[in-house]
Amino acid sequence: MLRAAFAIFCTATTPALAGLIFCNETGTRATVAIGYTEDGSWISEGWWRVEPFDCTEVQAGDLTKRYYYWRATSKGGTFPSENYYFCTTDAAFTIVGDENCEQRGYQREAFTEVDTGQSKDFIVNLTLHDQIPEHSQDAPLHSDELPQNDAGGGFNAPPGTHGEPYAIVGQFQGCYWEGDAHYCDVTADGWTYTASSFTPTDAAVMESLSQVPLYANVQIDGDLIYYEGSQAEVTIRSFAIASGASLAQPDPVQNAMSFGEIQDFLQGYWNSDDDDSYVWIIDGNQLDEIYDANLLERSYFEIHPTCAASYGQGPVIIAYPEVDAHGDGPDCYLITRLGQRGFELAEMVSGRSLSFTYSN
């Protein structure tokens, strides 16, 4: 009954609070310290007192960070902690840096990570544990926020730590920045796999991946965090240039062009040689079919050695419609010619031939 009353109390009172809030669900006073990153440095602060069945605002105003780390103490028992370490003292403190704690006259204590999900405010509920639970030494870290960790970093955490493990061979679509966030995309079988600095992917891995030639075939592995439609948010644990990145292509595609070079060649605005109103616009792996200035269909394509309908012939373009209204699946086009300013295809299902010339 007391816990239920406290839940009702929190619901009624916490809207007046904002920011990072700690609510004490125990019958004993707790003290709280937090850690976070600020201007490239790790900061730890404490202590805030949280009375039994009460809430305390630790960070006021809208939250500007996704990840915080906290430590709580109580005479009534222990709170859970993980392998994230910060410097603390018994008295009130604000400490810059999470290294060499003892040498600087501080204690070195374990903290627990909380993911606010980029919310403007967040509540941490404190509940006692009889003992501190055992955690993997490879506690998951985040590429944009890396406190000192006894395991030396969590990017090598066991497969499945952050979601279902995966391993694919796909085409590298590039890395890019949006604001302060770094993203890298790889496409395979109609899916776009995106790793970002918001996911537990080592920044060094993403930096190395950004040096890979655009549209090269790469093999990546990691954990599948989330997916919707044909988009997947993933971690990338490791990558390698796939063996198919520079396969020699059969005639009449000359000069042993790699798949990446073929995709690079196809970029731009292409007019049909048979119908002036029919246009292909290719941007990255996005293919827009236009007729009389109207969008007929948008697809996302990949270059493959063959497809089921090409009976061993290749290379081919496999185009996955953005909206597959009839459930027909992807289209397969055999590349029959690549010229200086044009290319020819054979659509495998219908058998029709397509010829395009580049237009500025």
Structure tokens at 22: 């700690």
Instruction: Provide the residue count of the chain.
Output: 360
Do 106 and 195 sit in the same domain of this protein?
A: no
Q: Strand pairing of 286-291 and 278-283?
A: antiparallel
State the Cα–Cα distance between residues 213 and 174, nearest whole angstrom. Answer: 8
Does residue 12 lie in a domain region? no
Does residue 252 lie in a domain region? no
Query: Sheet holding 55-59: strands in order across?
Result: 55-59, 20-24, 122-126
Does residue 135 lie in a domain region? no
- Cα dihedral sign for 162, 168, 173, 175? positive
Do 44 and 79 sit in the same domain of this protein?
A: yes
Number of structural domains the chain divides into: 3
Does residue 13 lie in a domain region? no
**Omega of the bond prior to 315 within 30 degrees of 0, cis?**
yes
Q: Can you give the CATH number for the domain in which 303 is found?
A: 2.40.128.280
pLDDT tens digit string along 196-249? 887 788 888 888 888 888 888 888 999 888 887 788 889 998 888 875 443 334
State the Cα–Cα distance between residues 20 and 34, nearest whole angstrom. Answer: 10
Do 279 and 221 sit in the same domain of this protein?
A: no
Q: Which residues form the domain of 185?
A: 164-241
Do 114 and 38 sit in the same domain of this protein?
A: yes
Q: Is 146 helix (H, G, I), strand (E, B) or coil?
A: coil
Q: Can you give the CATH number for the domain in which 181 is found?
A: 2.40.50.140
Asked if residues 184 and 221 have their Cβ atoms less than 8 Å apart, the reply is: no
pLDDT at 4 > cutoff 70: no
**Average per-residue pLDDT in the chain?**
79
Counting DSSP H helices and E strands in the chain, the numbers are 3, 24
Does residue 5 lie in a domain region? no
Does residue 142 lie in a domain region? no
pLDDT tens digit string along 237-295? 888 887 544 333 434 444 457 788 888 889 999 999 999 999 999 988 889 999 998 99
Q: End of a domain among 71, 100, 126? A: 126
Do 60 and 94 sit in the same domain of this protein?
A: yes
Q: Strand pairing of 41-50 and 93-96?
A: antiparallel
pLDDT tens digit string along 145-156? 434 333 233 455
Q: End of a domain among 69, 100, 126? A: 126
State the Cα–Cα distance between residues 33 and 35, nearest whole angstrom. Answer: 7
Do 226 and 308 sit in the same domain of this protein?
A: no
Do 285 and 226 sit in the same domain of this protein?
A: no
